[in-house]
Amino acid sequence: MESRGLRPLMAVVIWWWWLISPAVSDPQTNLLNQGCSTYNVTNLSDFYTNLNATFSDLETQLNDNKLFATANRTRSGDSVYAMVQCRNYMSAEDCLACFADAQSLIRSCGAANGARVIYDGCFLRYESNSFYDQTTLAGNAAICGNDTASQVTAFQSAVEGLIADLEVATPRINGFYAAYKMEVVGGGGATVYGVAQCVETASQTACQDCLQVANSNINSCLPSKNGRAIDAGCFLRYSDVAFFADNQTTNITPFLQKGGSNKKKAIIGGVVGGVGLALIVVVLLLWYRSSRKAKPASTGDLLGVTELQGPVNYSYSDLKSATMMFREENKLGEGGFGDVYKGHLKNGKMVAVKKLFIGQTDRAKANFESEVKLISNVHHRNLIRLLGCCSKKSELLLVYEYMANSSLDKFLFGEKRGSLNWKQRFNIIVGIARGLAYLHEEFHVCIIHRDIKPSNVLLDDDFQPKIADFGLARLLPEDQSHVSTKFAGTLGYTAPEYAIHGQLSEKADTYSYGVVVLEIISGQRCNEMKIEPVTEFLLERAWKLYENDNHLKLVDESLDPEEYDAEEVKKIIEIALLCTQSSASMRPTMSEVVVMLYSKDALQHGTPTRPTFISSNNRAGGDTSPSTWDAASNATASFSGVSGR
Ligand SMILES: *[C@@H]1O[C@H](CO)[C@@H](O)[C@H](O)[C@H]1NC(C)=O
Ligand SMILES: *[C@@H]1O[C@H](CO)[C@@H](O)[C@H](O)[C@H]1NC(C)=O
Ligand SMILES: *[C@@H]1O[C@H](CO)[C@@H](O)[C@H](O)[C@H]1NC(C)=O
Ligand SMILES: *[C@@H]1O[C@H](CO)[C@@H](O)[C@H](O)[C@H]1NC(C)=O
Ligand SMILES: *[C@@H]1O[C@H](CO)[C@@H](O)[C@H](O)[C@H]1NC(C)=O
Ligand SMILES: *[C@@H]1O[C@H](CO)[C@@H](O)[C@H](O)[C@H]1NC(C)=O
């Protein structure tokens, strides 16, 4: 009777699956990997009975609309443990078809104690003992397509961002699966697609670890147009063409937030938690008392409170009165995205208020809110804190912490020229590198600044640098972002591949950073000619002095030679030249820069190659030895042999 009641339900479910499956059914049986253990079973008839029984168990579960199943038969000596998993974008029919193919192929192993077949759409594996909690095993590999993407840098950075997001989000999602796509910024409307999946029997930590390995494997595929990483317990794939239906994308954004079960954070949380909790309670009490009168417009810089609150919504009238109606004399500067005003909130706190110039479409507003949320989560001592925002009809305002010492350009070229000593300059050089390394590599979304220059580096009371204006480029309408940021990017600081071809990656920031370092050392503006003895821009001049081993001639004359170590300054000039190399792929990442700045020895990145501004087609990507299918299948022996000895 019960089964009769289930029938209509089944029909609905099947109909539903049919609805969301891609129009043309495709079991995706492109073979990625196959392996058999070499050990024979002891009793053939027992073995096959067990094998057939587990496979039919698996099939029953798939028929029940499952996309992941395990089954075992341990009767008599030759036990069989089996597992099947389809990618969740597969329809029930496609999943069954994929499984059927895998089953017939895996039988070609004969009476092996263990075997495995991995397709794009599904995988099937069995062993003579339980392997359900296995995730990463020797034999994990990347399988790369052999066509290279055209917009190498832009494509590469999009894929890296996509995969990094999938790596973070997937272990936090129930079922350990996510499909996601991302637009290639500066890629002429191109999109990249990705899927990540762990076996459902893995622990969350094991899934994280497995995807981490998979991520580093799949990275070796770039700049191939597509790649897969396979392992015992997880799967990762990206492609420049869609391999799942558009409406199958997972909303991974909620799983990218901080405070997930990232191991590092959990440990820090554990240590800070004990002391922090007591402190936060006290602070909250104080804050509560003081906030009963003043509106919570001011978050105060009390530890904990701002962290807990997230971005504050300021009222427009408060900001208007804080900046004295955005009066001209309160103006601190004009940035690429809007004018900045000094503001004095009612509670006495100073803030910097930025009036954005960006468009007023609904989309811009929607982006504004999500970007503000994102940027306000960026906490690093070398990055300006976004305190909150205000959006009122046609106006979008951002409220930042206020830096009394204004920006680096004033100290290098402006009224305070020559007042920074070497130690301060060195700290600024290191601080900017740290801030950028955080934006590129440590924050959960890779944020490329695109407009690093001294006027975007603010100095706090201790002359520690704080980078401003990050994340804002993402607010520009997508169809415009490339063109208008090229516009906004200050020529002289802009990497050639970005300025000329619009190829954007974090290495564009590395380039700008290198130029800024040369400015900090020389006190010369990058786009100002020096008239002695020939007229040269800063970068050319630095390069020629370096070639003639005469680096120190570049150093700002206002610096006391007693103050600095000549070898250290030479090393930093060379690091700057590594950053401004014309090939983006040869430039170091910002975290590598931080390491080099502190290392005593010769540069690990070898000697800089010549910077070029006009050079066009640098083959970024360098040595891309695409792993072939053969190489991948050679690597499998150890993968399947686990069950035997
Ligand atoms: C998903 O997209 C397919 C086309 O790719 C379409 O046929 C189907 O109706 C969509 N399903 C849902 C639930 O939106
Ligand atoms: C395994 O079985 C195959 C036939 O099924 C046989 O040819 C082979 O010799 C056996 N190998 C071992 C190590 O017993
Ligand atoms: C295999 O096991 C079955 C019972 O499980 C038994 O009847 C048969 O004789 C065994 N075969 C061999 C070759 O040992
Ligand atoms: C197991 O299944 C295969 C294929 O379905 C069949 O050829 C074989 O006879 C079965 N063996 C046993 C012992 O049931
Ligand atoms: C083997 O299957 C039985 C049910 O058929 C299940 O209870 C048991 O947990 C399974 N063993 C493992 C290791 O999964
Ligand atoms: C690699 O390229 C060759 C020739 O262009 C093609 O036949 C082959 O299928 C490609 N292999 C893969 C894995 O894409």
52 Cβ below 6 A of ligand 4: yes
Of 401, 417, 450, the last residue of a domain is: 401
Query: Is there a single domain that holds both residue 466 and residue 380?
Result: no
Question: Measuring from each residue's beta carbon to the nearest atom of ligand 2, which residues come in under 6 Å?
Answer: 40, 110-111
Is residue 264 a known part of a binding site?
no
Pocket test of ligand 1: the residue of 12, 16, 19, 26 to mutate, having most ligand atoms within 8 Å of its CB, is: 19
DSSP secondary structure letter of residue 635: T
CATH number for position 414: 1.10.510.10
Q: Return the pLDDT at 630.
A: 25
What's the 50 CA to ligand 4 centre distance in angstroms?
10
Q: Which domain holds residue 68?
A: 31-127
Domain membership of residue 288 (yes or no) is: yes
Measured distance CA(295)–CA(617) in Å, rounded: 56
In a domain, 191, yes or no: yes
Statement: residue 291 has pLDDT above 80: no
Q: Cis peptide leading into 296, omega within 30 of 0? A: no
Let me know whether 447 and 556 are in one domain. yes
Count the domains in the chain: 4
On whether both 181 and 327 belong to a single domain, the answer is no
Interatomic CA distance for residues 523 and 530, integer angstroms: 11
Model pLDDT, residue 584: 92
Residue 613 lies in a domain: yes
One domain for residues 477 and 594: yes
Task: Give a yes or no: residue 4 inside a domain.
Answer: no
Which residue owns the Cα nearest ligand 6 atom 12? 145
Query: 46: Cβ below 6 Å to ligand 4?
Result: no
Mean pLDDT, residues 251-255: 91
| C-alpha–C-alpha distance, residues 237 and 225, integer Å | 11
Lowest-confidence pick of 153-157, 217-221, 291-295, 493-497: 291-295
Interval between CA 74 and ligand 4 midpoint (Å):
17
At 615, is the pLDDT very low, low, confident or very high (cuts 50, 70, 90)?
very low
Same domain, 200 and 262: yes
Where residue 169 sits, what CATH number does that domain have? 3.30.430.20
Q: Are residues 193 and 264 in the same domain?
A: yes
**Backbone phi and psi for residue 533, each to the nearest 5 degrees, phi listed first:** -80, -20
> Does 327 score more than 60 pLDDT?
yes
CATH number of the CATH domain containing 353: 3.30.200.20
- Between the CA of 43 and the centroid of ligand 3 the distance, in Å, is 6
Tell whether the model's pLDDT for residue 259 goes beyond 80. Answer: no
Structure-model confidence comparison of residues 470 and 280, the more confident one: 470
**According to the 3-state scheme, what is the secondary structure of 11-61?**
HHHHHHHHHHCCCCCCCCCCEEEEEECCCECCCHHHHHHHHHHHHHHHHHH
Q: Does residue 120 contact residue 127 with C-beta atoms inside 8 Å?
A: no
104 alpha carbon, closest ligand: 4
Q: Whose CA is nearest to atom 5 of ligand 6?
A: 146
44-70 pLDDT, tens digit each: 899 999 999 999 999 999 999 999 999
Question: Which atom of ligand 3 is least distant from the CA of 49?
Answer: 5
- Burial of 402-420, coded b for 16+ CB within 10 Å and e otherwise, reads bbebbbbbbbbbeeeeeeb
Domain shared by 475 and 544, yes or no = yes
Measure Cα distances from 73 to 87, 101, 133, 319 in Å.
25, 22, 18, 70
Residue 9: inside a domain, yes or no? no
Q: Are residues 384 and 416 in the same domain?
A: no
Measured from CB, residues less than 6 Å from any atom of ligand 3 are: 43, 45-46, 76
Residue 39 Cα: closest atom of ligand 2: 13
Q: Is 451 a catalytic residue?
A: yes
How far is the centre of ligand 2, averaged over its atoms, from the C-alpha of 141 (Å)?
Answer: 29
Examine the domain organization and report whether 181 and 249 are in the same domain: yes
Q: Is the CB of 72 under 6 A from ligand 5?
A: yes
Higher pLDDT, 450 or 6: 450
Closest CA to 265 of 170, 168, 178, 375: 168
Look at residue 477 in the predicted model and tell me its pLDDT: 46
Residue 57, in any domain of the structure: yes
Atom 12 in ligand 3: residue holding the nearest Cα: 43
CB 123, CB 471: distance < 8 Å? no
Q: Is the CB of 146 under 6 A from ligand 6?
A: yes
User: What residue's CA is closest to ligand 2, atom 11?
Assistant: 40
The residue ranking higher by pLDDT, 279 or 161, is 161
Tell me: do 225 and 339 sit in the same domain: no
Would the CB of 48 count as within 6 Å of ligand 4? yes
pLDDT, tens only, 423-469: 999 999 999 999 999 999 888 888 899 889 999 999 988 899 999 98
Give residue 47 CA to ligand 3 midpoint distance, Å.
10
Whole-number pLDDT of residue 318: 87
- Please tell me the distance from the alpha carbon of residue 603 to that of residue 617, in angstroms, as a whole number: 26
- Dihedral angle computed from the Cα positions of residues 475, 479, 480 and 485, in that order, rounded to the nearest 10 degrees: 70
Would residue 25 count as lying in a domain?
no
Of 68, 101, 127, which residue is a domain's last? 127
Ligand in nearest proximity to the CA of 73: 5
Pocket test for ligand 6, best of 146, 240, 243 (most atoms within 8 A of CB): 146
What is the whole-number distance in angstroms between the Cα of residue 15 and the centre of ligand 1?
Answer: 12
Residue 12 lies in a domain: no
Which of 380, 401, 422 delimits the end of a domain? 401
**Would you place residue 234 in the very low, low, confident or very high pLDDT band (cuts 50, 70, 90)?**
very high
What spatial distance separates the first Cα and last Cα of the chain, rounded to whole Å? 50
Question: In ligand 6, which atom is closest to the CA atom of 143?
Answer: 13
Pocket test of ligand 2: the residue of 36, 40, 78 to mutate, having most ligand atoms within 8 Å of its CB, is 40
Q: Where are the beta strands (DSSP E) in 111-266?
A: 115-119, 122-127, 141-144, 177-183, 191-198, 226-230, 234-239
Residue nearest to atom 5 of ligand 4 (CA): 52
**Nearest ligand for residue 75 CA:** 3
The ligand that comes nearest to the alpha carbon of residue 58 is 5
Nearest CA to ligand 4 atom 8: 48
With a cut of 80, say whether residue 97 has pLDDT above it: yes
The better pLDDT of the pair 214, 10 is held by 214
Query: Looking at 94, 165, 240, 451, which residue is catalytic?
Result: 451
Separation of CA 174 and ligand 1 centre (Å): 23
Confidence of residue 36 (pLDDT cuts 50, 70, 90): confident
* Cα(46) to centroid(ligand 4), Å: 11
Query: Alpha-carbon distance 253 to 623, whole Å?
Result: 34
pLDDT digits (tens, 9 = 90+) for 399-410: 998 888 889 999
Statement to judge: residues 75 and 150 lie in one domain:
no
Same domain, residue pair 597 and 506: yes
- Please spell the DSSP secondary structure of 393-419, one letter per residue: TTEEEEEEE--TT-BHHHHHTSTTTT-
Helical spans, DSSP H, in 336-458: 362-376, 408-412, 422-437
